């Protein structure tokens, strides 16, 4: 529509600073602007190659496709961005109306290196100190931050990945194993809620923020300051403790091996690098516990169902407070008895848990190298825990 109005009909002019249409999106895909542009250009190329019209029509279509490509090149810009806003589901009675947390300080970060966005966004957001400016209003009211360099956006993404996503992954596995189905436990004033919050504080201050000072990381570098990292944690902590923020602990555990490596792994790498430069062990108990909880979650029970090689990567584990054998006795995937008293809940596509019976299902397709062979991580963990040389895991 814009192409026809601006190029063919010439009835519309873009009023942005450089007269370019800015395409932004809210998909949390790295380099999302570049991905969209690449996809559109691939579609143009495909349509050109698939054109089977006669020669005259082919020449006409080729000319129009060249015009459209020029239009994209000169009058459209695809901006990379980062989005961070949580909306969670209410109870079944109000399922059509989602919960919504207060606006985060960086709900939407967009990279605009050439100042193509409308003036309301202002390209000076990352340095502006005038609280009355349009950029400050966009940030304080809507959580919109405009960055001028790729390194700044990379720093924002690193902060989100390591602090917000990393702590979410760490606490979700612990909460789920302890039969807390929602993360809103973190907003509780109970002793358990305080204990979980203290654990996250230890993980962040003792590990993640410490790694933020490590110059070895290309993600941090000179772009992210310790003060900004601390501000990110304070903002994220307030969000975690807000009553309308809670998500399903079990839902967050999906793709645990990948998330552990992507979200917590970079911090561990920086801490290990610091080990060599300081001659001190920088990895503490809090980080070790985060990975221990993740591996515990990925350990299946030792029963015939989990020995089945045709389980499509789905395994069944046992919750804290239950023995693997007790959870196994009460479970039958194809039996209606497993849904007794409506205690079985589905938390993801094809994955369920039952707090009363003490079992949960999870997927694991992570393959590791073991003794010159490749094996699924969960199978290896099962062998280690239930080998003849070990005792039955405690409750």
The 10s digit of each residue's pLDDT in 23-55 is 998 888 889 999 999 999 888 877 666 655 556
Q: Does residue 145 sit in helix, strand or coil?
A: strand
Chain Cα centroid distance, residue 287:
19
* C-alpha to C-alpha distances, 385 to 179, 184, 277, nearest whole angstrom: 21, 31, 35
Give the other-Cβ count within 10 Å of 166's Cβ: 27
* C-alpha to C-alpha distances, 83 to 17, 26, 80, 109, 312, nearest whole angstrom: 24, 6, 10, 6, 32
Give the model confidence (pLDDT) of 298-343 as tens digits.
Answer: 999 976 555 555 567 899 999 999 988 766 555 555 544 444 557 8
Give yes or no for residue 248 having a pLDDT over 50: yes
User: Do the Cβ atoms of 351 and 334 come closer than 8 Å?
Assistant: no
Strand 351-354 relative to strand 21-23, pairing: unpaired
Give the model confidence (pLDDT) of 199-230 as tens digits.
Answer: 999 999 999 998 886 654 545 556 678 888 99
Q: List phi, psi (to 5°) of 317.
A: -115, 180
**What pLDDT does residue 8 have?**
79
Contacts of 193 (CB under 8 A, 6+ apart): 185, 186, 187
């Amino acid at each position: 529509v814009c192409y026809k109005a601006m190029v063919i009909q010439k009835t519309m002019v873009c009023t942005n600073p450089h007269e370019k249409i800015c395409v932004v999106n809210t998909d949390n895909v790295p380099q999302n602007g570049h991905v969209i542009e690449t996809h559109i250009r691939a579609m143009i190329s495909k349509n050109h190659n698939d054109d089977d019209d006669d020669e005259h029509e082919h020449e006409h279509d080729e000319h129009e496709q060249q015009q459209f490509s020029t239009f994209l090149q000169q009058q459209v810009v695809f901006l990379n961005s980062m989005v961070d806003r949580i909306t969670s589901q209410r109870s079944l009675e109000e399922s059509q109306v989602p919960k919504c947390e207060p606006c985060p300080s960086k709900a939407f970060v967009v990279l605009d290196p050439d100042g193509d966005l409308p003036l309301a966004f202002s390209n000076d957001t990352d340095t502006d100190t005038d609280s009355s400016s349009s950029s400050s209003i966009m940030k304080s009211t809507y959580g919109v931050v405009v960055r001028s360099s790729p390194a700044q956006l990379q720093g924002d993404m690193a902060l989100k990945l390591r602090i917000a996503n990393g702590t979410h992954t760490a606490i979700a596995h612990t909460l789920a194993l302890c039969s807390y189905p929602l993360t809103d436990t973190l907003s509780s004033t109970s002793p358990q809620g305080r204990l979980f919050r203290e654990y996250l504080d230890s993980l962040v201050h003792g590990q993640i923020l410490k790694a933020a000072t490590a110059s070895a990381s290309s993600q941090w570098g000179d772009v992210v300051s310790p003060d900004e990292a601390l501000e990110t944690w304070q903002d994220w902590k307030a969000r975690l403790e807000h009553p309308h923020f809670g998500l399903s602990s079990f839902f967050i555990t999906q793709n645990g091996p990948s998330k552990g490596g992507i979200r917590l792994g970079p911090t561990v790498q920086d801490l290990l690098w610091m080990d060599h430069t300081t001659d001190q062990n920088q990895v503490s108990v809090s980080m070790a516990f985060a990975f221990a909880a993740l591996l515990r979650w990925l350990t299946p029970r030792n029963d015939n169902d989990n020995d089945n090689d045709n389980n499509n990567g789905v395994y069944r584990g046992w919750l804290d407070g239950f023995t693997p054998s007790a959870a196994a006795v009460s479970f039958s995937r194809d039996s209606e008895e497993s849904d007794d008293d409506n205690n079985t809940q589905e938390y993801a596509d094809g994955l369920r848990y039952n707090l009363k019976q003490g079992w949960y299902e999870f997927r694991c397709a992570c393959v590791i190298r073991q003794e010159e062979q490749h094996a699924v991580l969960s199978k290896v963990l099962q062998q280690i825990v239930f080998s003849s040389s070990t005792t039955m895991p405690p409750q």
